[in-house]
């Protein structure tokens, strides 16, 4: 026992100071891709090699519309290997309140040989992707209501948060990172965040994996058993969009195809820092503690 105490004293504090300080992420860690949009010449190689369709394009009237969807991206780096205009970063703070906020779109003039030039605009993150999705109807009253709900949730969850983790069909990669949140390095309980065994005791559902059809009813029942007001965070590319699995005979795809989602955390899997970023964003604490 004395030996353990001595080791703890000699080791000192290992807990990260995030979010008061930037996340201490290894330069070798793989985060979101970064595209040199202005000098990008050809999307086709990256789109062809992307395993999840995170990079895609459409052509019409001599123009090319290019899309990067971080909700689909598994941060594999294959696009960066075939296209010098793309590089992988170690940026892990990618969580967003809406899927649309993870979509980046740029427009180019199309050359006869299939390359593109004259970067016209972008990247932008519109309310909805013009690649087939209808934009939501503008309504100032809905925005006002959303702000009221957010303020109310912040009042309720600002001091503590109880999380029920739900594996709806993941490969367990996200679970490995979630377990790390309770380690001395990340120490999620310093924020008043605790994991609970029952959804009846939870404020937030942390859902991983594409929702398998066998887990669809269980997830709905778990959501219904969670008392209001409740939050739902979709974890990883699979939870955000269906990821590498998509929608098929065995899976429903993204979590929001089954239950409402409040925050999306991209990655495959997202790191503990990325998870902290998303959970604190859901709580509304991130803006206060970072001064934003």
Q: pLDDT tens for residues 57-116?
A: 999 988 999 999 999 999 999 999 999 999 999 999 999 999 999 999 999 999 989 898
Residue 8 in this model has a pLDDT that exceeds 80: no
Q: What percent of the chain has pLDDT above 70?
A: 84
Residue 243 in this model has a pLDDT that exceeds 90: yes
Q: In b/e form, how buried is each residue of 218-231, taking b as 16+ CB within 10 angstroms?
A: ebeebbeebeeebb
- Residues forming a β-bridge with 94: none
Q: How confident is the model at residue 18 (pLDDT cuts 50, 70, 90)?
A: confident
179-200 tens-digit pLDDT? 999 999 999 998 889 999 999 9
Instruction: Give the mean model confidence (pLDDT) for residues 206-220.
Output: 96
Q: Which residue pairs from 124-130 have beta carbons closer than 8 angstroms and sit at least 24 positions apart in sequence?
A: 125/100, 125/101, 126/100, 127/100, 128/100, 129/67, 129/69, 129/100, 129/103, 129/105, 130/65, 130/105
Residue 128 in this model has a pLDDT that exceeds 70: no
Cis peptide before 150 (omega within 30 of 0): no
Calculate the dihedral angle through the C-alpha atoms of 69, 285, 18, 185, rounding to the nearest 10 degrees. Answer: -100
Instruction: Give the mean model confidence (pLDDT) for residues 22-46.
Output: 90
269-292 tens-digit pLDDT? 999 999 999 998 988 755 444 444
Q: How confident is the model at residue 142 (pLDDT cuts 50, 70, 90)?
A: very low
Q: What is the pLDDT of residue 197?
A: 94
Dist CA 181 CA 185 (whole Å): 8
Q: What is the pLDDT of residue 118?
A: 76
Strands 211-212 and 33-35: unpaired
Residue with tokens 């394009």: 57
Q: What residue ranges define each of the domains in the chain, with the CATH number in brackets?
A: 33-124 (3.30.70.20), 158-290 (3.40.50.12280)
Structure tokens at 39: 């000098």
Instruction: Give the mean model confidence (pLDDT) for residues 149-157.
Output: 54
Residue 134 in this model has a pLDDT that exceeds 50: no
Dist CA 192 CA 197 (whole Å): 16
Q: What is the pLDDT of residue 126?
A: 53
Nearest to 275 by CA among 184, 186, 164: 186
Within its chain, how far is the Cα of 209 from the centroid?
12
């Amino acid at each position: 026992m004395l030996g353990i105490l001595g080791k703890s004293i000699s080791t000192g504090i290992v807990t990260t100071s995030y979010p008061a300080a930037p996340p201490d992420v290894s330069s070798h860690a793989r985060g979101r891709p970064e595209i040199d949009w202005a000098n990008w010449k050809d999307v086709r190689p990256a789109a062809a090699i992307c395993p999840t369709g995170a990079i895609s394009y459409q052509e019409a009237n001599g123009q090319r519309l290019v899309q990067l969807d971080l909700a689909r991206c598994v941060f594999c780096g294959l696009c960066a290997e075939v296209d010098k205009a793309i590089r992988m970063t170690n940026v892990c703070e990618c969580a967003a309140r809406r899927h649309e906020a993870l979509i980046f779109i740029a427009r180019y003039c199309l050359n006869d040989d299939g390359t593109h030039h004259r970067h016209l605009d972008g990247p932008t993150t519109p309310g909805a992707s013009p690649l087939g999705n209808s934009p939501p109807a503008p309504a100032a009253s809905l925005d006002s209501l959303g702000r009221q709900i957010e303020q109310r949730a912040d009042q309720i969850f600002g001091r503590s948060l109880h999380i029920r983790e739900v594996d709806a069909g993941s490969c367990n990669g996200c679970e490995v990172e979630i377990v790390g949140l309770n380690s001395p390095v990340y120490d999620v309980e310093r924020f008043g965040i605790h994991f609970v065994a029952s959804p009846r005791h939870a404020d937030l559902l942390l859902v991983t994996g594409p929702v398998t059809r066998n887990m669809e009813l269980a997830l709905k029942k778990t959501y219904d058993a969670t008392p209001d007001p409740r939050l739902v965070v979709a974890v990883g590319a699979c939870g955000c969009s269906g990821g590498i699995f998509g929608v098929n005979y065995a899976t429903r795809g993204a979590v929001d195809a089954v239950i409402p989602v409040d925050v999306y955390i991209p990655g495959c899997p997202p790191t503990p820092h990325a998870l902290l970023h998303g959970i604190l964003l859901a709580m509304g604490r991130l803006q206060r503690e970072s001064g934003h």
